Amino acid sequence: MAAPPLLTLQNVALTFGGTPLIEQADLAISPGERTCLVGRNGSGKSTLMKIACGLIEPDKGVRFVQPGTTIRYLAQEPDFSGFSTTLDFVEHGLTHGDDAYRARYLLESLGLTGAENPASLSGGEGRRVALAQALAPEPDILLLDEPTNHLDLPAIEWLEAELKSVRGALVLISHDRRFLSALSKTTVWLDRGITRRIEQGFSTFEAWRDAFFEEEERDRHKLDRKIADEEHWLRYGVTARRKRNVRRLGNLHALRKDRREDRRPVGTATMTSTEAESSGALVIEAKNAAKAYGERRIVDDLSIRVMRGDRLGIVGANGAGKTTLINLLTGQSAPDSGSIALGTNLKMMLLDQARAVLDPSMTVTEVLTGGSGDSVVVGGVSRHVIGYLKDFLFAPEQARTPVRVLSGGERNRLLIARALAQPANLLVLDEPTNDLDLETLDLLQEMLSDYSGTLILVSHDRDFLDRVVGSVLVSEGEGRWVEYAGGYTDMVTQRGQGVEARKSATAPRPDGKVKPGRLASTSAAPAPKTKMGFKDQHELKTLPERIAKLQTEIAKHRAVLADPQLYSRNPALFQKTSATLAAAEADLSAAEDRWLELEMQREG
């Protein structure tokens, strides 16, 4: 018999400023459960999580917590006031019986000493300290609101592994698809104030959501047709002319009321880039470039070519020097030695992670128009600023809103809107995915896929890197940067691990320096070569056939799930097919990785 839920929300509702934010939300968290809470930016996810942990009282509904249950909540903006060190802040969350050593262990695992002054922490450091405080007591329920924000890839992967070992229940809000897919077993979708739940992890959610929207749109069309039929009867029916059928007329009024009160999904952003004339074939060429600050080498002996149309991802731990590297590659700073040449006819647009170009005192309109007029030129065409803002999900009344009151996601959308309005054939995007919801991430990905210019992308989002870039430039430590073909997952396969600096060095040159190459096979120190055995040779020969079969199987499952009525007609079949599809996709990924590994071994 299943254990009763530790925490329950039933029919919860909350209204802010006359507008219902949450209308009918249910949430049940059982011991050890792994739940992701998903929904558009502004849908009320963070508010629902605050209701769950008791920080906000709903207008109506029931919140019940089993006696003795401990709950910890990770807020997006923790309050460090009153604490002299980071260790004090983390230990403040411990209670009698908790392991006091765990506070120091978590801080050290996250790259902190515990002696830092909380008032001087960066955004990423503050997030690490808040995570340590939430994890230290090992609570029964852990509520995490965007835990990966401001974390670098090593910290994200450490957190993912740490949360897998947590014995308590987890509720996660995140825009990181890879993170949610790895940790969630149940999905709760908050959409237009109502929660819907599926007993599947995030990996199956998007297919289910799309099918739900398609079925909803069909129901809306049916309602429209029914209203049109009733209105035709009202005007032209013989019976209607003789005497009004009161009951039928009442039904028509009820249908019209349903149509008026129907809440459509929140609109989607429309992203199109303004492209300049094509640049020259060679965009950037670095030859033995080096840059250091004091004795610390940021870039050492880097040689790389970026050609027109390339999509280069840059990854590394915080502090590895990604911003310095971008400044070198884009000509904003000069190397200490070596050379960096920029191609001809370059028109560059830089999206700064720090959002330094956003003046908090300026209004949204002023950011886009430069403070003059109410029009913005996009792709050579003048558009009214309000119409352009609607493309990025801003309401007309936000046109005069100061930047300082915008949320993180709104600021990032505004920055992207500003960047895409300016002609460019080289886009340099530094962490563009911060604070964006999943649907907006999809549109940004589609825009970048259609972009014919050159792209340099810095990101900690593994899934986004896999979808967008064609090669990845990775920090190997001590100023060494190595380029790998493919996305983030391909890089991990070739390199053998994630972005943390490897302990083994690449083969030294006679002068003692390391020469990084374009691919791991030419730059990383390979393991001693061994002759392929018969078993490996047979596996390499048969893998293409297995991959083809898996691709066919996946296509069949996707065709079944494409039926928008499947979930309402046969939920069991939908869940079974979704689970089988997820397993087949995992098998395909593993088979492709194994084929690449064997092929590299054969060619080595």
Q: Which residues pair with 430 in a beta bridge?
A: 458
CA 27/CA 35 separation, integer angstroms? 10
Mean pLDDT, the chain cut into blocks of 10 residues (604 residues total): 84 82 92 93 87 93 94 85 91 82 89 88 84 91 90 88 92 93 94 91 90 80 69 57 54 59 55 66 92 88 92 88 90 92 87 69 85 77 84 81 78 80 85 78 81 89 90 90 91 79 34 33 38 71 84 84 74 80 79 74 63
Question: Can you say which residues are annotated as belonging to the binding site?
Answer: 39-46, 316-323
Does residue 539 contact residue 598 with C-beta atoms inside 8 Å? yes
Classify residue 598 by burial, with Cβ atoms within 10 Å: 0-12, 13-18, 19+: middle
- Residue type at 357 in one-letter notation: V
At residue 289, the pLDDT reads: 94
DSSP string for 14-46: EEETTEEEEEEEEEEE-TT-EEEEE--TTSSHH
CA 506/CA 385 separation, integer angstroms? 53
CA 205/CA 578 separation, integer angstroms? 9
Q: What is the CATH code of the structural domain delimited by 534-603?
A: 1.10.287.380
At residue 516, the pLDDT reads: 33
CA-closest candidate to residue 352, choices 431, 414, 436, 441: 431
At residue 275, the pLDDT reads: 59
Question: Can you say which residues are annotated as belonging to the binding site for ATP?
Answer: 39-46, 316-323
CA 121/CA 149 separation, integer angstroms? 15
| The CATH number fitting domain 7-207, selected from 3.30.565.10, 3.30.1340.30, 3.40.50.300, 3.30.1320.10 | 3.40.50.300
In the numeric block, the tokens 């996601």 are attached to 409
Q: Which two tokens stand for residue 539?
A: 């596996």
Chain-centre distance of CA 284, in angstroms?
29
